[in-house]
Amino acid sequence: MKQSLRPARRTLWQRAALTVPVAALVAVSAFAAPGYADDADGGNGTPSAEVESPAPAPEPKPAPEPKPAPEPEPAPEPKPAPEPEAEPAPDPAPAQDDQPADTPAPQEVPADAVPAGDGAEDGAQQIRPRRIAAAKDDDEKKVVVCKYVGTPPGVPHHIIVVSKNAIKDWDGVTFPWTFADAQDSVAIRWAVGNEQPGDEELVNCPLAQIAPPTIEPVDPCGPDNIAFPEVPETDAYTVEVVDGDVVLTAKPGYEFPGGESTLTLELPADSGEPCIATPPDVEPNDPCGPDNAAYPAIAETDEYTVTVNEDGSVTLTAKDGWAFEGPSATYELPAPVDSGEECPDGGKKVVVCKYVGTPPGVPDHIIVVSDATLFNKGWDGVTFPWVFPDAQDSVAIRYAVGNEQPGDEELVNCPLAEITPPSVEPNDPCGPDNIAFPEVPGTDEYSVEVVDGDVVLTAKPGYEFPGGESTLTFELPADSGEECPEVGALAACVTTIDPELPIEDARLAAKADGVVIEIVDELLAEANGFLGTLPFTFILDGKEYTVFAVAEPGQTADDFSVETQCAGGEVVDEDCLDAATNPDAVDANGEPCNPDGGETGGIVDTDDPDALPNTGGPAGILLPLGALLVLVGAGLVMVRRPHSA
């Protein structure tokens, strides 16, 4: 019986395997067949009612009955005759010029017009759907819209094509039309046909128009000095000066009139209008004696040059970019007219300051001497002050007045050598109330003193500061009060390295000498390559620093243990002290203290050094794995056994 059932089961399954696909194929065909039946005629979709309309055709069969009557047959002949004769008559009518002026012009009849009367209702039925379709088409018109992103006015980002009804508050006519939705948007035109967003380019999207600034160049007197004033940058454009021209460049989302991205303001040519030079206000000196009137020495300036002519007149010539009133290129000081005043016996007198000490010396006393004394030393009789050497350094300062005596002039009016002041800038490091001038050394010309932070320079004898001042004070400005950045502290094991030995030998020798812990500045470590990773080693000034921890505020070297952190000269991370008993321990950087994942291989019993290693593998998993494999094999045998019976 068992043997007879097995073939029956196999046959049933085989039959099912063949029947199911065939049934599925038949079902699919059945559902698909009606679709082909509807399309069998291949027509243009004409309703069935229209197909049946030819049914009344059999009715014309009784038509032969009126054939026997001969009279109706000739009746149609006269009908066509008058029709062709009436038709040509209206054809030439439009060409005639003799029609009455009040005759209405013929109107064109639309092709889809339906005459009034019996067909009026049918015509209305035909026209109404067309109007509805036209209105629908108008509602479905599309508009091309530019979308913008970024700070208003924004930058064109992409283009969309939407229904005109999607545009807010639009009048249906105005382009471009700006409106806000999820992004700033601008409708730019009607879509053409079945236009898609990718058919329009972003470069055609309008940008915010920049109103160009009004900038006039500044052209002061003088040559080649015309220039535009400084033009500030705005949110709409950047500013650059190129060879004097001002170039404005539109920022994203903006453009200049005409769609330009840049606007250049060209610098016009310099007018070359000269500046007006001011001639000196001088009067000629006319000491007693004949033909000795002359102008005092006139120094050349940035405005003009000086030329003394043979007749004593002086010509001032304006330099480039300058002119005298008029305008004029020159200015003349007329030749002085000598008074011819006779000098008293002994000639004219000159007041002379006498100096002592190392040149330039110190004014010591004043004398009045004959001008002949100065002439003998090369004096021109005009220049004051005039330095000349004799037994002492001397300076002629002016002609004596009347019967002037030496005591009539004061020493303070004797000229001194002018000192060029030094440049002294204060140092203001970070931190409060620590601004100060650097040390200023004294010189042969002045002494230096610091008074309440100010630096006071005092001219030495024979010298003076500009303006005839005997002292010059540099006042200390207020402290900026800039806060100093916080500097971290690091704990490091420090050993002394012998630079004469190889590094490994030097380290061994250093361990023998001992290791100490020091607190070092983080800035010092950073200057030597420290990037924040611990531990970190660097060598500086004969010492090797091994940074092992970040010191907390207030911590000192005594808070750390050399035996713990620097055991045997090797740095031990404080976080890894329990790594021997904790396989999951990690150091300060989050790295595992046991990178190999804990104990591996055989583990020797420390109580019995001669014991063989435990070969159970990592964590002793070999035994459970073997048992699992045995169970899987047994299961396979049990599953296979019934089929092999």
pLDDT at 448 over 70: yes
- In angstroms, what CA-CA distances link 355 with 361, 382, 385? 5, 22, 14
Other Cβ atoms within 10 Å of 216 Cβ, number: 9
Lowest mean pLDDT among 19-23, 103-107, 364-368, 440-444: 19-23
* Count of C-beta atoms within a 10 Å radius of residue 44: 5
**pLDDT at residue 52, rounded to an integer:** 42
pLDDT at 150: 74
Give the pLDDT score at 427: 94
Can you tell me which residue has the tokens 């620097």? Answer: 566
Amino acid at 359: P
pLDDT reported for residue 20: 47
Flag whether pLDDT at 191 surpasses 60. Answer: yes
CA distance 637 to 46: 73
Residue 409 has pLDDT above 50, yes or no: yes
Of residues 35 and 582, the one with the higher pLDDT is 582
Cis bond before residue 642 (omega within 30° of 0): no
Sign of the CA dihedral 609, 615, 621, 626?
negative
Rounded distance between C-alpha atoms, residue 158 and residue 449, angstroms = 73
Nearest to 255 by CA among 209, 206, 204, 202: 209
Range with the largest mean pLDDT of 151-160, 319-328, 400-409, 458-467: 319-328
Average pLDDT in the 176-189 region? 82
Backbone angles phi, psi at 485, to 5 degrees: -65, 150
Which of the four pLDDT bands, split at 50, 70 and 90, describes residue 47? Answer: very low
pLDDT at 286 over 70: yes
Looking at residue 296, what is its pLDDT?
82
Q: What pLDDT is stored for residue 372 in this prediction?
A: 82
Q: Residues with Cβ < 8 Å from 616, sequence gap 6 or more?
A: 622, 623
More confident residue, 209 or 72: 209
pLDDT confidence of 39, banded at 50, 70, 90?
Answer: very low
Task: Choose between 528 and 114: higher pLDDT.
Answer: 528
Of residues 132 and 511, more confidently modeled: 511
The single-letter DSSP state of residue 480 is: -
pLDDT confidence of residue 31: 47
β-bridge pairing 463-464 and 417-418: parallel
Residue 81 pLDDT greater than 50, yes or no:
no
Higher pLDDT, 279 or 31: 279
Tell me the mean pLDDT in the region 394-414.
87
The confidence score (pLDDT) of residue 578 equals: 57
Which of 23 and 338 is assigned the larger pLDDT?
Answer: 338
Q: pLDDT category, 512, cuts 50, 70, 90?
A: low
Write phi, then psi, for 349 (nearest 5 degrees): -110, 150
Ranges of beta strands (E only) in 194-278 are 208-209, 237-242, 245-250, 254-255, 262-265, 275-276
What's the mean pLDDT in 114-140?
Answer: 56
What percentage of the chain reaches a pLDDT higher than 70?
66
Q: Could you tell me which residue, 341 or 644, shows the higher pLDDT?
A: 341
**88 pLDDT above the threshold of 60:** no
Span 207-252, pLDDT tens digits: 888 999 999 999 999 888 899 999 999 988 999 999 999 999 998 8
pLDDT for the residue numbered 142: 92
Are 160 and 197 a contacting pair, CB within 8 Å? yes
Q: Are 479 and 461 in contact (CB under 8 A)?
A: no
**507 or 366: which carries more pLDDT confidence?**
366
Count the alpha carbons within 13 Å of 447 in the hemisphere toward its beta carbon.
5
- Confidence check: pLDDT of 87 > 50: no
pLDDT: which is higher, 270 or 95: 270
The answer to whether the CB of 361 falls within 8 A of the CB of 367 is no
**pLDDT exceeds cutoff 80 at 454:** yes
pLDDT at 336 over 50: yes
Q: Give the helix/strand (H/E) hosting 544.
A: strand 543-551
Q: What is the DSSP letter of 236?
A: S
For residue 582, name the pLDDT band (cuts at 50, 70, 90): low
Task: Phi first, then psi: give them for residue 129, nearest 5 degrees.
Answer: -60, -35
CB atoms within 10 A of CB 154: 19
Cβ atoms of residues 465 and 456 within 8 Å = no
Q: What pLDDT does residue 112 have?
A: 53
**Helix, strand or coil, per DSSP, at residue 635:** helix
What confidence score (pLDDT) does residue 238 get? Answer: 95
pLDDT (0 to 100) of residue 317: 96
* Average pLDDT estimate for 7-36: 46
Instruction: Please count the helices (runs of H) and the strands (runs of E) in the chain.
Output: 9, 27
Report the pLDDT averaged over residues 395-416.
87
Locate 52 and state its tokens: 């049946």
CB 309 within 8 A of CB 406: no
Half-sphere exposure of 563 (CA within 13 A, CB side): 0
Average pLDDT over residues 17-44: 44
Q: Where are the beta strands (DSSP E) in 400-445?
A: 417-418
Degrees (nearest 5) of the Cα angle 270, 273, 279?
145
* Residues in contact with 428: Cβ distance below 8 Å, sequence separation at least 6, in sequence order: 434, 435, 479, 480, 482
Average pLDDT over residues 474-499: 88
Residue 526 φ/ψ, nearest 5 degrees: -65, -35
pLDDT surpassing 80 at residue 545:
yes
Q: Helix (H, G, I), strand (E, B), or coil: what is residue 18?
A: helix
- Residue 545: CA count within 13 A, CB half-sphere: 23
In angstroms, the CA 283 to CA 312 distance is 12
Placement of tokens 């990773």 in the chain: 533
Please say whether the beta carbons of 206 and 177 come within 8 A.
Answer: no
Question: Residue 149, SS3?
Answer: strand
For residue 185, pLDDT over 90 is answered with: no
**Residues 6+ away with beta carbon under 8 Å from 261:** 249, 250, 255
**The length of the chain, given as a count of residues:** 645
Distance between CA atoms of 270 and 248, rounded to whole angstroms?
A: 22
What is the edge-to-edge ordering of all strands in the sheet holding 446-451? 446-451, 454-459, 471-474
* Confidence at residue 310, expressed as pLDDT on a 0 to 100 scale: 87
Identify the three-state secondary structure at position 639. Answer: helix
